[in-house]
A and B are shown apart, each in its own frame.
Chain A
């Protein structure tokens, strides 16, 4: 054992018992973390990252078996110490932060009491002292006004604050090891940025070793010194994070890096490069390299001989027989063939939404999820809709689909009114508006075979009744989403996530739709299959000339895919226009914050200042007066923002945003100084409240005529 490591895992092998059959999930895992080092463990779902985390804390479920290996923590084997010692260690010498802070905090206890509990338990402090210590700890995790926050309940805090509190609790005993298990997954981009910043800052304040588990290479690259990549339970590559991300020596790492849209990447220039195939099923018998069946450079040897951990120099390890050839792997053929150019900007308007309002609840306690949204989607266009959770994106899509009745407003499709709920729409309108849902596990009926799912859609949407005709069309449909005929026989459970989503896409396209509402269609999928699905969505879209309303929280994806973008905040559209114009300054301060919170691998080269948003998102049931964004706006001007609803500002080319600051001034501001970090609500220097412009009371419109 390396004496200099805080934690070292040696040859760890873990299986799960399923119906008395052992399924190997972790195979011969060896890694060590030095004191004060941040180590990132990256992998897709099902690769065993969480099992590693649970093994470290010895929280493994009862059907897990440690077949062999040791976990050495300060000279002792964690897997062999007795329960009493372990209990003392957990929380004091090693601590864990979980994925979802909202469920990890006790909702019925004030956060101060919860943090103080740690001090009382592990430090034997008394009530008052513990409470004071908790306050001091909150200051260290940079929570503003800790005294107030201590007396709050978890639900009164934003996701970012909650995660800060989890981190504060974990750090309160100054542990030697901190395990962060997907600490930012499920949080909005702006909150994610906030938490990552904190982790970075804490690295200098505390001498804690960190194991940072994530599926996102970009996130890990930002925070960690060294990175290990897990695939199917094996550590396939390891090394200093910057080098590893810049020049991976394993084809899988390379594939992961290439399949996400990079900053500035657009669909008309480059195609995404997916990793073919999918993860091997749990417990599969893989005699050779676990990645061989998906690897572009695999040879015969790879299928029979498991690669040992090759030392590739500079503390790097790669489990690839041909690790020297990895940097030379050419971009796939697909990469060069660009998609046909985006639709002409003078396209016919397909969907026009005017003043759409959706209110939930009774008249006494109501929430306006969509508060007067107007925009247009042209034929053959991808309209991207972004915004944090709770901004009303999904409610908007559900109104358009007819799944819920809009409360007010006009929606027209090809000139026909569309406001009616789905059961009042005729077959023609139903066929024209279809939806692809986020999670194919729940959007496909688990009891129906793929044949039945598609057959039913063809029957009702395309009106095909004859069996032979239906069979023919089904095969066409399946091949258009690259499903094979054998996939038709099975139920969704027998398919991988990517294949399931293909079925869902095929279903939406069964009846030649004109508008397909895509509600986060790739966010439930693993990174390696996202690219394939995005490519497919693009292919089908260009082939059939449909329009997409593409909802996503992933700005990289939206930027890659969308022709136009709308940014929603608290039920309102605050920024709308051609994709490029929305992403570049001048844009709404909220868009600015979203863009700056994007985590891309390019940040390694070009660290940008992050715009910090002050405070949590206000509740949509009680939106702030004036500009709804004023409570968090980094460019807050003063009373005008608080009292007056901002006008639409036009910035040429059909781009417009809702703000009191006119385009010229905003451009200057956003070019020069990022937001002043740390003082989110401060007023940027040199701004005079703008004069009221003429278009103030005008009805907001998406595009100039």
Chain B
């Protein structure tokens, strides 16, 4: 139909229309369409969206100022006035839970982004060039992976001091080798494709081939990896706050709140229960999104 036909001119009916370009980021769009039709993905995305909105607009939604101390109403159980009760200083737990989303949702995504950037860079270079660079870098990666994540984090933060920025850096550094592994293996199979050979034959630079030829073709595994990492990042950031190595008082950060509330666990369990539930829903939501994406990629 496209290669010069010699059917008579009297043809009435149109030949089957050539698939008009559904173009522009086709692979990615396919992925998005497949993901959007998955219930797992949609549920996760809805919960995630809720927390993102809270992180941005808690100020308008929260019934009280999360920092407002009210000594007369300390450790009050959930009631019509304070749905989630109050803490030892009489602060509204509901408001603190809503406000707490913002710190997790800054630290975790930024840390993940940093780890992804580092991992993609390392993965592309080692996977594409192979050889000695690959051998050396991958052994370093192996060494890093041999340490439990939390030990590295504790080590680094106790040296650098604990701050939001340092938590982000730590998450980024810890994630880099893990992401690099995934990216490298995707690059390894992609670099054997002949379009890479064709690019080399026309004299493209290594950087161009890695970034413009290979990278667009491995976005699917990268997207999946990013969501999985985000789940871990949320978890890590909460753990670090809990160990009071991360975000400091008086932030309403969930991990921190849980850590402070555990003393009152027997008298005021709501102080721990609600932030813990919030944390759980967020991690589950991110994992649902990851699962949905993974399924979409595999289809």
Known contacts being A445-B217, A491-B26, A498-B3, is A435 close to B197, with CB within 8 Å? yes
When distances are taken between beta carbons in the complex, the residues of chain A under 8 Å from B7 are 292-296, 298
**Is the CB of A580 closer than 8 A to any CB of chain B?**
no
Contact of A294 among B1, B22, B197, B202 (CB under 8 A): B1
B81 within 8 A of A: no
Is the CB of B160 closer than 8 A to any CB of chain A?
Answer: no
Bound-state CA distance A493–B4 (Å) is 20
* Residue from A460, A482, A498, A532 within 8 A of B204 (CB atoms): A460
Query: Is the pair A293, B15 in contact by a Cβ cutoff of 8 Å?
Result: yes
* Residues B194 and A285 in contact, CB atoms below 8 Å apart: no
- From A276, A303, A304, A445, give the contact of B6 (CB < 8 A): A276
**Once the chains bind, are B16 and A460 in contact (CB under 8 Å)?**
no
Q: Which listed residue, B8, B22, B25, B198, touches A435 by the CB 8 Å rule?
A: B198
B15 in contact with A435 (CB, 8 Å): no
Asked if A304 contacts B12 (CB within 8 A), the reply is: yes
Please tell me if the beta carbons of A445 and B202 are within 8 angstroms of each other in the complex.
Answer: no
Q: Are B3 and A299 in contact (CB under 8 A)?
A: no
In this assembly, does B151 line the interface, its C-beta being within 8 Å of a C-beta of chain A? no
- Whether B3 pairs with A443 at a CB distance below 8 angstroms is no
B interface majority secondary structure = loop
Looking at A133-141, A422-430, A570-578, A597-605, the stretch in contact with chain B turns out to be: A422-430
| Chain A binding surface SS class | loop
Mark A420-448 against chain B: 1 for CB-CB distance below 8 A, else 0: 00110101001001110111001111111
Q: Mark B20-50, 1 if CB is under 8 A from A, else 0.
A: 1111011100000100010000000000000
Q: Report Cα–Cα, A296/B7, bound state, in Å.
A: 5
Kindly list chain A residues whose C-beta atoms are within 8 Å of the C-beta of B195: 442-446
| A201 to B245 Cα, complex, angstroms | 79
A303 in contact with B12 (CB, 8 Å): yes
- Asked whether, in the complex, the Cβ of A423 is within 8 Å of the Cβ of B3, the reply is no
Q: Please determine whether B16 and A280 come into contact, CB atoms closer than 8 angstroms.
A: yes
Is A104 part of the binding interface, using a Cβ–Cβ cutoff of 8 Å? no
A287: Cβ under 8 A from any B Cβ: yes
Q: Digit string of A279-306 for contact with B (CB within 8 Å is 1, else 0)?
A: 0110011111000111110111001100
Residues of A within 8 A of B37 (CB): 19
Residue contact B16 to A422, C-beta cutoff 8 Å:
no
Which A475-494 residues have a C-beta within 8 angstroms of B?
482, 484, 487, 489-491, 493-494
Contacts of B60 on A, CB cut-off 8 Å?
A: none
- The reply to whether the CB of B132 lies closer than 8 angstroms to some CB of chain A is no
Instruction: Tell me whether A276 and B16 are in contact (CB under 8 A).
Output: no
Report yes or no: A482 in contact with B3, Cβ–Cβ below 8 A: yes
Interface check A312, CB cutoff 8 A: no
A294 to B1, CA, bound (A): 7
* B2:A499 contact, CB within 8 angstroms: yes
B10 contacts the other chain (Cβ, under 8 Å)? Answer: yes
> Does A13 make an interface contact (CB < 8 A)?
no
- Complex alpha-carbon distance, A487 and B15, angstroms: 17
Contacts of A510 in B (CB 8 A): 202
Q: Are A496 and B16 in contact (CB under 8 A)?
A: no
Residues of the A chain whose Cβ atoms lie less than 8 Å from the Cβ of B262: none
B272 CB to nearest chain A CB (Å):
46
Let me know if B13 is at the binding interface, CB within 8 A: yes
Q: Evaluate contact between A491 and B3: CB separation under 8 angstroms.
A: no
A332 contacts across to B, CB distance below 8 A: 6
| Chain A: minimal CB distance from B21 (Å) | 4
Instruction: Let me know if B139 is at the binding interface, CB within 8 A.
Output: no
Cβ B11 vs Cβ A303 within 8 A: yes
Which parts of B204-244 form the interface with A (CB within 8 Å)? 204, 213, 216-217
Q: Which residues in B have their C-beta under 8 angstroms from that of A244?
A: none
Chain B, range 186-206, C-beta contacts under 8 Å to A: 193-195, 197-204
Asked whether B146 is an interface residue with its Cβ less than 8 Å from the other chain, the reply is no
A-contacting residues, B32-80, CB 8 Å: 33, 37
Q: Which of B16, B197, B204 contacts A281 (CB 8 A)?
A: B16
Confirm or deny: A507 has a beta carbon within 8 angstroms of a beta carbon on chain B. Answer: yes
How big is chain B's contact interface, by range?
Answer: 35 or more
Across the interface, name the chain A residue whose C-beta is closest to B204.
A460
CB proximity of A581 to chain B, nearest CB, Å? 33
Q: Is the CB of A496 within 8 A of B2?
A: yes
A696 to chain B, nearest CB (A): 39
User: A423, B200: Cβ atoms under 8 Å?
Assistant: yes
Q: Are A276 and B3 interface neighbours, CB within 8 A?
A: yes
Give the distance in Å from the alpha carbon of A286 to the alpha carbon of B1 in the complex: 13
Beta-carbon contact of B23 and A499 below 8 Å: no
Name the residue of chain A whose CB is nearest to the CB of B22: A494
Are B1 and A278 in touch, CB under 8 angstroms?
yes
Q: Are A296 and B10 in contact (CB under 8 A)?
A: no
Please, how many angstroms separate the alpha-carbon atoms of A402 and B203 in the complex?
11
B23 to A277, Cβ gap below 8 A?
no
Instruction: State whether the Cβ of A457 lies closer than 8 Å to any Cβ in chain B.
Output: yes
- Within B140-198, the residues touching A (CB, 8 Å) are 193-195, 197-198
A residues near B16, Cβ cutoff 8 Å: 280-281, 284-286, 293
* B204 and A300 contact, CB distance less than 8 A: no
CA distance A435 to B5 in the complex (A): 29
Q: Return the chain A residue nearest B214 by Cβ.
A: A445
Is B1 a contact partner of A422 (Cβ separation < 8 A)?
Answer: no
Closest-CB distance, A254 to chain B (whole angstroms): 14
Q: Residue on B with the closest CB to A292?
A: B7
* Shortest beta-carbon distance from B103 to chain A in Å: 37
Tell yes or no: A142 within 8 A of B by CB. no
The CA of A292 and the CA of B13, in the complex, are separated in Å by: 10
Query: Is the beta-carbon distance between A300 and B194 smaller than 8 angstroms?
Result: no
Give the residue name and chain of the B residue nearest to A462 (CB): B202
Contact A422 B21 (CB under 8 A): no
B268 to chain A, nearest CB (A): 51
Of B12, B21, B33, B204, most buried by chain A (CB within 10 Å of CB) is B21
Partner of B194, one of A281, A437, A499, A532: A437
> Are A430 and B201 neighbours in the complex by a CB distance under 8 Å?
yes
Asked whether B200 lies within 8 Å of A403 as measured between CB atoms, the reply is yes
A433 to B201, alpha carbons, bound, how many Å?
A: 8
Per the bound structure, the CA–CA distance linking A647 and B296 in Å amounts to: 60
Interface residues of A in 396-430 (CB under 8 A from B): 401-403, 422-423, 425, 427, 430
Seed contacts A276-B5, A491-B21; 9 additional CB < 8 Å A-B pairs:
A278-B1, A292-B11, A293-B5, A304-B12, A435-B201, A446-B26, A446-B27, A494-B22, A494-B23
Q: List 13 contacting pairs A-B, 8 Å CB cutoff, sorted by A.
A: A277-B1, A281-B16, A284-B16, A287-B13, A294-B7, A298-B7, A298-B11, A300-B11, A430-B202, A444-B195, A445-B217, A457-B202, A499-B2
- Using a CB–CB distance below 8 Å, which chain A residues touch chain B? 19, 274, 276-278, 280-281, 284-288, 292-296, 298-300, 303-304, 332, 401-403, 422-423, 425, 427, 430, 433-435, 437-439, 442-449, 456-457, 460-461, 482, 484, 487, 489-491, 493-494, 496, 498-499, 504, 507, 510-511, 529, 532
**Residues of chain B having any CB pair with chain A under 8 Å:** 1-8, 10-13, 15-16, 18-23, 25-27, 33, 37, 193-195, 197-204, 213, 216-217
